[in-house]
Amino acid sequence: MSKESILIAEFMGVNVVTLDQIRANRNPIFSNADGYTVDELKYHSDWNWLMQVIESIDHLQPEPIKGIEDALATREIGGVYDAVVDFIKKENATKEAQDNSALNIIDKRHFLEITKEVFDCIVTNKQKEFNYELNGTLARKHFYHAKGVDLIIVHNHVSNVSQYYLADINS
C-alpha cells in the first residue's frame, strides 16, 4: 500500500519525507509544507485525498478514464485507489517511453537548466529555427535549435511550471 501511495504522491507533486529527514530538520516544528511521511498519506483510506487525485487526472485527460469511472461506480475506495494506481503506472510508462524517444531525438546530450531570460536571448522573438513538440499528459516539451545550440522547454501541467534547458556543448 505504501509504495502505491508514494507513487500517487509523486504524481501529485507531494513531498514524501522520512522520519530521519524530519529529525535532521533544525526547525523543531514540522509542518505539511515540508511534506508527509508515508504513514500520513491517506489516498487509500480518505475519499477527500483520492478525489483530489482524480480531479488532477481529469484536468489532464480530455476523456474520462474508463477504469477509474468503473471503479467509482462501485463506490469502494479500494477499487478506485487501485484504478488510480494503474492509471498512474501506465502514464509513467508512457512518459518514460516519450522521454526515451525525446532523448533519441537530441542524441542523448546533457542539458543544463537556464533561466527564461537566457532562453529568450538565444531564441529571439520566439522565432523557431527548429521546433519539435512532444506532448505527454504530465508535461509538454518543446525542442529548439537556435544560434547553433539545442534548447528545450519543459512545461509541467501538474505544477504549472516551465523549465528551460540548454545542451551542454562539452558533453
- Vertex 84 angle, CA 78 and 88, to 5°: 145
Q: Which three cell numbers stand for residue 62?
A: 480530455
Is the confidence at residue 25, as pLDDT, over 50? Answer: yes
pLDDT tens profile 106-144: 545 688 889 999 988 888 765 554 545 555 567 777 888
User: Residue 112 gets which letter from DSSP?
Assistant: E
CB 5 within 8 A of CB 41: yes
Q: Which run of H or of E encompasses 145?
A: strand 139-146
Task: Name the average pLDDT for the chain.
Answer: 77
pLDDT tens profile 75-118: 999 999 999 999 889 887 776 665 555 545 554 568 888 999 99
Residue type, 127: Q
- Vertex 14 angle, CA 10 and 19, to 5°: 100
